[in-house]
Amino acid sequence: MSRVVAMITKGGNPASNQDLVFHTDGTHFYSYGVKVASKKFGTSHVTLYEPYWNMYSQTTNYYLLQFLDEFSIKDIRKKVNSGDYLVA
């Protein structure tokens, strides 16, 4: 069973087309209906999905940073390069 929750805008409103999907295997970030990133429950395991995670659009990037609690796309790229984040 899954639960879908809209992410929140800077103004505190539900964001259109920016969703978190809570599923038994973890939390998934979807932007415009496309899976961008996943976090597994109970671990630090993060998977990013090509090409959407890598500055695909400013809007997607903004909410991806929010989902991963990161400061910039550069920080995410460092974690990809170090192997902390997986890319699929």
Strand partners, 85: 46
- Average pLDDT on 2-16 reads 96
Please tell me the predicted confidence (pLDDT) of residue 42: 80
To the question of pTM greater than 0.75 for the whole model, the response is yes
Handedness of CA 7, 83, 52, 35 (dihedral sign): negative
Provide the pLDDT for residue 1.
Answer: 74
Residue 24: predicted pLDDT = 93
pLDDT tens track for 21-79: 999 999 999 999 999 999 998 888 999 999 988 877 899 999 999 999 999 999 999 99
Q: What is the arrangement of strands in the sheet containing 3-8, beginning at the earlier edge strand? A: 3-8, 14-23, 26-31, 34-40, 46-48, 85-87
CB 67 within 8 A of CB 46: no
Confidence label for 3 from pLDDT (cuts 50, 70 and 90): very high
Could you give the 3-state DSSP secondary structure of residue 62? Answer: helix
Per-domain boundaries in the chain: 3-87
Alpha helices in 1-88 (DSSP H): 58-68, 73-82
Structure tokens at 87: 């890319």
Q: Hunting for tokens 């990161």 — which residue is that? A: 70
